[in-house]
Amino acid sequence: MLFPTFAFLIFFVIVFVLNWMTRQKPFLWKIVILAASLVFYGWWNWRFVFLLGTSIIINWLSAKKIRDESEKLEKLLARRWMQTAVIANLSLLGVYKYYDFFVLEISNRLKQVGFDTGLPLLDLTLPIGISFFTFQAISYVIDVGREDIEPLPLLDFAVYLSFFPQLVAGPIVRASEMAPQMSARSDPRYLQSAAAYRLILGGLFKKVVISSYLADVIVDDVFANPSNYSSLDILVGVYAYAIQIYADFSGYTDIAIGVALLLGFRFPQNFDCPYRAKSLQDFWHRWHITLSAWLRDYLYIPLGGNRGTSRRLYINLMLTMILGGLWHGNKGTFLVWGLIHGLALIAERLISERFSESQIRTLLSPRILSLIRWMITFHVVCLAWIFFRAPSVGDGLSMLSGLFSFRIGVELVTSTLLLVIFGAIGMQFVTKGIREAFQAKTNKGSAPAQAFLFALGLVVIDSLGPDGVAPFIYFQF
Amino acid sequence: MVDVSQEQPKKLGTPAGKVLAWGLLGLLLASFLNSKILLEEAELKPLGTARTVSIALWTPIEKLAGSIGLTRPQELIDGLLETEKTDKPLGELLVENFESVASKESAIYSRGLNTEKLEPNANGLEQIAALDEADNLIEGPEVSPGPSSSNPLKLWILGDSMVQFFGETLVAYAESSEVIEAESEPVLSSGLVRPDFYDWPTRVTEIMLEEDPDVVVMMFGGNDGQSMFVPPAAWYKTFSNEWIEEYSRRVGEIMDLVSKGSNRLVMWVPQPPMKSEAFDDKMKRLNLIYEAEALKREQVYFVKIAALFSDENGEYSKYLTSDDGQTVDARLSDGVHLSTFGGQRLSRYLMHELGEIVDLSGGLATS
């Protein structure tokens, strides 16, 4: 079930009513939300509800076992259970997302030296959102293992893992963020409806209008056949994709956060104006924040983080970014995307180790330095996006080759397109003060005024958007 | 970006009941303001209960909204955005097309296929199944003097979302010959069953008039396995005799729009084997219709592609062996669309087939 559809609207109105009718009766409320979440998930393919159910039961049992052993002071055994649970989760992800890829790679390599592995290829249909709920499950068992949180009762855990607003494309919410809210029993008298409407409308606008427009007028064409277009078309196409993927993914997140807010839940922020970042490190504090925090807490720090030698730090950084890339899928393009980010992060560290801030400032004025940093960061991110979007590494290289062929001409670039792209980038620089002032102003609106503006916003979005709704890009991950 | 996680919970806000009541009123208002688009969208839904219910819901709302002027803002926005569709009478365009094309001296790339003709048949399926076995009616193509870089062949690739996954690759391969100018125009979710969703006959007519291509590659069917509405009020159940007759007529019509009265070549690409057995069965039945209609027309070449995307048993296979012996995925995870490799394989084959019909060495000779 996609958010911007009539089916979801009907579904949500029913869930909204049931949510607030049962909110003060925790058991009933959990049953209602669990049932709603399973309907939401089963809407795509009801068979995958069993997969989600299996994940819920295995992870809940594992966490319980971890805590039992821990209480018996069997720390080693508790650790073993935690490792087993993590491996089980990764195996589930591995079978669906990576098995065929690795079998193909190994079989093809061995075939070249005359050895046939005979390993079967499974051709499984990828369950939607599996990467997101598996990462949430892993964070849960690790947090229980680390004794950061108490294990949840089965029903609570099932609601946490399957909660429909964030189930299929995040944000990756930790149990420590969700559990207190489940037991808090939100007060139905104080609903932050203005913020919710703002998020939902903003998300819809980003997805239905901006993302669809950019995909339609330039991105799909340029990435499908870069050799047909001039260098300028390709360059603007890459900028457009940077905005498209941001609008698409952050649009989904905004809607998810808004929907959760209407149900009385506050989700963590997932994007914070990523294209205003002036370093790659800064970018990763602003882009897909819940994934980068997850990678930091459950991969980078356990690998050793920035403890130890510089070499070790670089290896940890590179491994984290490569695995972050492969989290998106089993294509070489995601590997290259991770490599580019890893290399850029290492380069940043090397530069900051070699040159102090004051040394650099003696050469350039702060404004110019800031501008150069922003431009480098933005273009490194765009370079990585080329491979993220390209169907294959070879296609990504064709894009680069077209970009630097300096072919003259303009076929797809229009003034409206440039206005959308640079307008979207410009919006990232709107200061927090202005944004907060706007939010405060809209928060004061009466319920009828909010509803009226919401209705008007929907009409404008529907008018500006194309027919039909393309699936969100991050659904495939 | 609103950071709700950082906003302190305040004892400010709206009671849930009020949010629901005003929210529903807001949605009702939006429905009225937007009723024209919502009704249009309902009409474009796949035929079935959901469509019937949607139309029954939005028709009175749209009428009421129109009568009290609530559709005006939408019309105003449409006017500003110039999104209002222009309805061109199809009949007029068809006549214009035939006259225009007949009067033109287009480059000749005739290929002398299908000298045998079939009599029109109510459903054609049995007859074509028999033909499939015999497979001896197609004569070898005649190679004619080919295009050159100064007089390039114009190739258009039209169809549904399947085209999206090989069209641009075919364009690239075609243009690398230096004697072909190619253009790909896929329309997602489109087909020949739902002209109310996307009117291919009109669009094809426009392309023939404005672009006058020499060769048109066409691929339809992915969205056509559904019931069909035939004006003024008939509903034909999928694959009923009436449905097959009408669908065959539409397939024939689109083939004629390209080829009749001209020397254009249609390369009709059937659907490849599909992962889902039920869907595959539908596509196989549609392929029989395409082949039947192609066989009735000299200038329509039905390009058999099933073997390109099948395993050794002739069944669907996501993974295929490439020329260098590697196992490669030829299909996307949906079991329908082609992967990059699949698109390349199909495009290479189409170029090969085109090269059998048209002498494409002109580019090499002139370069």
Alpha-carbon gap: A300 to the closest alpha carbon of chain B (Å):
24
For residue B5, being part of any structural domain is answered with: no
Distance CA A262, CA A197 (A): 9
For residues B75 and B192, membership in a common domain is answered with no
Mutate to test the interface with A, among B3, B53, B55 (most CBs of A within 10 A): B3
- Cα R_g (chain A), whole angstroms: 24
User: The complex's ipTM?
Assistant: 0.71
Chain A CB contacts of B325 below 8 Å: 111
Q: Does B65 touch chain A (CB under 8 A)?
A: no
With vertex at residue A307, the alpha carbon angle to CA A304 and CA A309, rounded to the nearest 5 degrees, is 105
Tokens of A387: 């491979």
Overall average pLDDT of the A15-25 stretch: 92
| Residue B88, pLDDT score | 40
Task: Work out the mean pLDDT of chain A and round it to a whole number.
Answer: 88
3-state helix vs strand vs coil in chain A, percent to 5: 75, 0, 25
Count of domains forming chain B: 2
Q: What is the C-alpha separation between A120 and A31, in angstroms, rounded? A: 41
Tell me whether residue A328 is one of the annotated catalytic residues.
Answer: yes
Does residue B8 sit within a domain? Answer: no
pLDDT digits 0-9 by tens, A400-449: 999 998 888 888 899 999 999 999 999 999 888 888 888 788 777 788 88
What integer pLDDT is reported at residue A469 of this predicted model? 56
B15 with A192: Cβ contact below 8 A: no
Q: What is the pLDDT of residue A270?
A: 92
B56 and B153, same domain (yes or no): no
Q: Is residue B6 part of a domain?
A: no
Give a yes or no: residue B2 inside a domain: no
> Angle formed by the axes of helices B241-259 and B200-210, to 10°?
10
- CA separation for the pair B248, B293 (Å, rounded): 7
Q: pLDDT tens track of chain B, all 367 residues? A: 445 555 544 566 788 888 888 888 888 888 888 888 888 878 777 667 878 888 898 899 999 988 988 888 888 877 777 644 444 433 344 444 444 333 333 332 333 333 233 333 333 344 344 444 444 334 434 445 578 888 889 999 999 989 988 998 899 899 888 899 999 999 888 899 988 888 999 999 999 999 999 999 999 999 998 888 888 777 888 898 899 999 999 999 999 999 988 889 999 999 999 998 889 999 999 999 999 999 999 899 999 999 899 988 888 988 888 888 888 889 987 889 998 889 999 999 999 999 888 888 764 433 2
Contact present, A3 and A250 (Cβ < 8 Å): no
| Cα–Cα distance list, B135 to A78, B138, B315 (Å) | 68, 7, 20
B204 and B288: one domain? Answer: yes
**What are the C-alpha distances in Å from A417 to residues A153, A230, A404?**
51, 16, 22
- Mean pLDDT throughout A54-69? 93
Q: Which of B51, B81, B111 is the last residue of a domain?
A: B81
Minimum CA–CA partner of A198 in chain B: B2
In B, minimum Cα distance to A7 occurs at B50
> Distances from the Cα of B34 to the Cαs of A6, B42, B53, B65, B73, in angstroms?
13, 12, 17, 9, 9
| Owning domain of residue B32 | 16-81
B68 and B129 fall within a common domain: no
Whether residue B181 lies within 8 A of chain A, CB to CB, comes out as no
| Segments making up each domain of chain A, as ranges | 6-184, 193-464
- Please check whether residues B43 and B112 belong to one and the same domain: no
- C-alpha span between A123 and A19 (Å, rounded): 39
Model pLDDT, residue A63:
94
Phi-psi label, residue B337: left if phi above 0, alpha if psi -120 to 50, beta otherwise: beta
Compute φ and ψ for A367, nearest 5 degrees.
Answer: -65, -45
Q: Can you read off the two tokens belonging to residue A46?
A: 């009801």
Taking alpha carbons only, the member of A87, A469, A93 closest to residue A251 is A469
Q: What is the predicted pLDDT for the residue at A126?
A: 81
The pLDDT value recorded for residue A35 is 96
For every residue of A270-319, DSSP letters joined together read --S-GGG-SSHHHHHTTSSHHHHHHHIIIIIHHHTTT-S-HHHHHHHHHH
Name which of A331-335, A346-350, B48-52 the model is least confident about: B48-52
b (16+ CB within 10 A) / e for B21-53: ebbeebbebbbbbbbbbbbebbbbbebeeebee
Q: Is B235 on the interface with A (CB under 8 A)?
A: no
What is the per-residue pLDDT for A422? 93
Q: Which residue has the higher pLDDT, A116 or A293?
A: A293
Write down the pLDDT at residue A477: 57
Closest by Cα among A100, A89, A176, A98 to A132: A89
In a domain, B10, yes or no: no
Residues B75 and B209 in one domain: no
Residue closest to A390 by CA, chosen among A327, A470, A334: A334
Radius of gyration of chain B (CA): 25
Give B48 to chain A, closest Cα distance, Å. Answer: 15
Chosen domain end from B32, B47, B81: B81
Q: Are residues B35 and B98 in the same domain?
A: no
Instruction: Examine the pLDDT at A27 and tell me if it is beyond 80.
Output: yes
Tell me how far apart the alpha carbons of residues A88 and B244 are, in angstroms, rounded to a whole number.
51
Regarding whether B194 and B76 lie in a shared domain, the answer is no
Exposure on the CB side of residue A61, measured as CA atoms within 13 A: 9
In this structure, what token pair is assigned to residue A266?
Answer: 């506050």
Residue B7 lies in a domain: no
Of B19, B172, B319, the CB nearest to A225: B172
Nearest to B22 among A195, A391, A450 (CB): A450
Contact A192 B325 (CB under 8 A): no
Angstrom CA distances, A316 to A138, A308, A323, A327, stand at: 20, 10, 11, 16
Residue B11 lies in a domain: no
Our CA angle for B360, B158, B305, nearest 5°, is: 65
Do residues B149 and B255 share a domain? Answer: yes
What was the pLDDT predicted at A262? 92
Q: Given this model, what pLDDT does residue A424 score? A: 94
Tell me: do B100 and B69 sit in the same domain.
no
Minimal CA–CA distance to A399: which of A343, A336, A344?
A: A336
From residue A34, alpha-carbon distances to A49, A52, A54, A120, A170 in Å are 11, 12, 14, 36, 17
The enclosing H or E element of B154 equals strand B153-159
Is B82 in CB contact (< 8 Å) with chain A?
Answer: no
Structure-model confidence comparison of residues B157 and A220, the more confident one: B157
Q: Could you give the percent of chain A with pLDDT greater than 90?
A: 52
Least confident interval from A122-126, A359-363, B17-21: A359-363
Residue B313: strand, helix, or coil: coil
